[in-house]
């Protein structure tokens, strides 16, 4: 029983609620550098990488790239600075998105 409880406590500690501010980009150009792709401006490149080349929308905060559970809402914020609120898994840097809003 102690082993099971310890595993539950360890697993619970890797996910927490938070808000992260950064730029919506794509997993192909994860750090927001779209110049090499030569596909137009940053927003156009981000959308093309997702819709045509199979990349995913991600959040880049300047240090860490976060995968996003919501892959529909980020399209309207492509290449824009936003605040994403949700549950973050520290081990995988994945955010289970509750909301995405333009950053102030």
pLDDT by residue, tens only, the chain of 104 residues: 444 434 444 455 577 889 999 999 999 886 656 566 666 688 999 999 999 989 999 999 999 999 999 999 999 999 999 999 999 999 999 999 999 999 98
Q: What is the pLDDT of residue 10?
A: 47
The CATH number corresponding to 11-102 among 2.30.29, 2.40.50, 2.60.40, 1.25.40 equals 2.40.50
Name 36's Cβ contacts closer than 8 Å, sequence gap at least 6.
Answer: 29
């Amino acid at each position: 029983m102690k082993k099971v409880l310890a595993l539950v406590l360890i697993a619970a500690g890797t996910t927490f609620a938070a808000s992260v501010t950064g730029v919506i980009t794509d997993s192909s150009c994860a750090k927001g550098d779209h110049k090499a792709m030569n596909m137009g401006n940053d927003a156009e490149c981000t959308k093309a990488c997702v819709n045509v080349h199979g990349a995913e929308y991600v959040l880049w905060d300047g240090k860490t790239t976060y995968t996003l559970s919501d892959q529909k809402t980020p399209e309207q914020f492509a290449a824009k600075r936003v605040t994403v609120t949700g549950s973050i898994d520290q081990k995988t840097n994945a955010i289970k998105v509750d909301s995405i809003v333009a950053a102030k």
